[in-house]
Amino acid sequence: MEIRLNLSKTEGSSHIAKNKALNLPNAISILRILTAPVLILLLLTPDRKINLIAGIIFSVAALTDWLDGYLARKMSVETSVGKFLDPLADKLLIVTCLIMLIPLGRVPAWIVALIIGREIAVTGLRSVAILEGIVIAATGLGKYKTAFQIASVIALILHYNFLGIDFQSVGTVLLYLALILTLWSGIDYFVRFLTTITKISPHTAP
């Protein structure tokens, strides 16, 4: 009887955890991830109208980054799944578009390589920090980095002149600023990681 009761409790708790993971903010993050293949197909055709559509889709997807975070806090449904999906969706969306823009001659490959390298390195450090039980406080640099990356990608997708604006030139300037912030925030995270490790090590030593 006790075994059955424990099993039912376990099944019930796993069911609750599953329901918590399947919430509106997480669904929005998943939807943002699913826009990546759509953008790939659109960017295969360097056409003015199609690029405009791709730019609009990317912009809307980028706006949902703010929306899912807001809804998670408002609805009190912040989950570990959501904390994983949200940054994953951002990185996947931005990196996918940057890679697709390389063969179109709109983005230098070396810049994309540096951005991808930074994201992989910081993600690796963040994973180590989680395993060690270390909390590295977020800073404004990461938010500015993401904002400039998004703005540059939108401009570079649009590419052509719209409303008298040379979006390729604007996007190129924004991309270099995004690169500076990307590397700067990566170095900052690495330094803060090492500083935290150094402070903890003497206390954990046998």
pLDDT digits (tens, 9 = 90+) for 132-166: 777 776 678 888 999 999 999 999 999 988 888 89
- For the whole model, what pTM was predicted? 0.80
Q: According to DSSP H, which parts of 22-136 are helical? A: 24-43, 48-74, 80-101, 109-131
Residue 23, pLDDT > 80, answer no
pLDDT at res. 131: 76
Residue 106, pLDDT > 90, answer yes
Q: Looking at per-residue confidence, does 118 or 3 come out higher?
A: 118
Instruction: Determine contact, residues 114/183, Cβ cutoff 8 Å.
Output: yes
Helix, strand or coil, per DSSP, at residue 51: helix
CATH for 91: 1.20.120.1760
Q: Looking at per-residue confidence, does 90 or 106 come out higher?
A: 106
Please give the mean pLDDT across all residues of the chain. 81
Instruction: Determine contact, residues 81/146, Cβ cutoff 8 Å.
Output: no
Q: Which domain holds residue 84?
A: 2-204
Q: Residues 175-194: what's their mean pLDDT?
A: 93
Least trusted range by pLDDT, from 40-49, 77-86, 100-109:
77-86
Residue 51, pLDDT > 50, answer yes
pLDDT at res. 203: 53
Confidence band for 25, pLDDT divided at 50, 70 and 90: confident
Residue 9, pLDDT > 80, answer no
The residues near 172 (Cβ < 8 Å, ≥ 6 apart) are 152, 156
Q: Residues 180-206: what's their mean pLDDT?
A: 80
pLDDT at res. 12: 45
pLDDT at res. 13: 44
**Virtual CA dihedral for 38, 44, 47, 49, nearest 10 degrees?**
0
Q: Residues 76-90: what's their mean pLDDT?
A: 71
Burial state string for 15-39 with b = 16 or more CB within 10 A and e = fewer than 16? eeeeeeeebebbebbeebbebbeeb
Which residues, in sequence order, are bridge partners of residue 161?
166
pLDDT at res. 127: 77
Containing 76, the helix (H) or strand (E) segment is none
Helix, strand or coil, per DSSP, at residue 162: strand
What φ, ψ does residue 200 adopt, rounded to 5°?
-80, -35
**Domains identified in the chain, total number:** 1
Q: Residues 108-134: what's their mean pLDDT?
A: 87
Q: Residues 196-201: what's their mean pLDDT?
A: 74
